Amino acid sequence: MNLELKAEVLEEFSGNRLDRFLKLSFGDEVSRASIQKWIESGFVRNQDDKIQDKSSIKVKAGDRYSVSVPPRPPLNLEPVPMDLPVILDRENYLILHKPAGIASHSGPGDRSPSLVNGLLYHFKELSKAGGESRPGIVHRLDKPTEGLILIAKNDRAHGKLSELFRKREIQKKYYAWVQGHPPEEEGTIDLPIARHPVERLKMTISPKGRRSVTHYKVLKYINSRSGRKFSFLDIGLETGRTHQIRVHFQSQRCPVVGDLLYSRAGAQFESYGLQLLSYFLKFKDPFTGESIEANLPLTERFLRFEKNAPLL
């Protein structure tokens, strides 16, 4: 069954090429190369139900486009060389530093190499409990999100680590730069999240959604010379829903900087990438009972954004 995606051209996107507009509409979960293939293959139609088969078509405000994404092709489980720094290596599991721009596993519309391909290249022991397409994957980080991720080496570890996540016994913290200033210097966002009813690649706040709780503290404010406001946050997750941080802060009118999926201004900061870093994990080793902590320092693109933010 095909996945149907829809997008309407807002005024600020008028004049963009069709492939770039769709990339901005669908965010980092879909590659531009995939979008171009859909266009060339006749999968994109306009509001008049006419096939749009040229990526260079210029869109204008009010145009509406629909994309019928074909069924996923056979799994791409080929080993691919990839830079995956190991932060902690134990007998039953690993903690890795996942780069930004690499999906945790393959998804609809994106056939670019994922973390799974890199894992298969570097590690012989990986759990199979998560399914054939997700060896070693216990939890996921969004494709544009950088940071710490737990990898299970065997099925026993996968089960024990999954149980820790289920019981919320793994502490996760993130750093993020957001646009604007949150309503409070320190607070909690407790709003339910569900799949967006129309834009199927997105999540949204909905009373029909699952309870989602995000705690945050502002560490720094920056006001740029052009009047833009930015805030640097330390974020803790009580729950772990898809796109939780991104959706919650969009709901506060403070989208994460560089978010192409949830921020209309995301493309203005595209060169910095999504400013969201999973920097801290803490849990009890389910085999030894030892307290495990892993930390990441701010990476180059976060430091570069902080340096340039006052000038933006």
Cβ neighbours of 46 (radius 10 Å): 15
**Can 142 be counted among the known catalytic residues?**
yes
Do 80 and 11 meet the contact criterion of CB atoms below 8 Å apart? no
Q: Is the dihedral of CA 142, 191, 297, 285 positive or negative?
A: negative
DSSP classification of residue 270: G
Written as one letter, the residue type at 106 is S
CA angle 281, 285, 288 (to 5 degrees): 160
Which one is catalytic: 49, 142, 155, 190?
Answer: 142
Can you spell out the DSSP letters for 123-169? -S----TT-TT-TTBSS---TT-EEEEEEESSHHHHHHHHHHHHTT-
Residue 264, CA distances (Å) to 11, 59, 226 in order? 11, 16, 18
Q: Determine phi and psi for 248, rounding to 5 degrees.
A: -65, -45
Question: How many angstroms separate the first and last alpha carbons of the chain?
Answer: 44
Residue 184 neighbours by CB under 8 Å, 6+ apart = none
The set of catalytic residues is 142
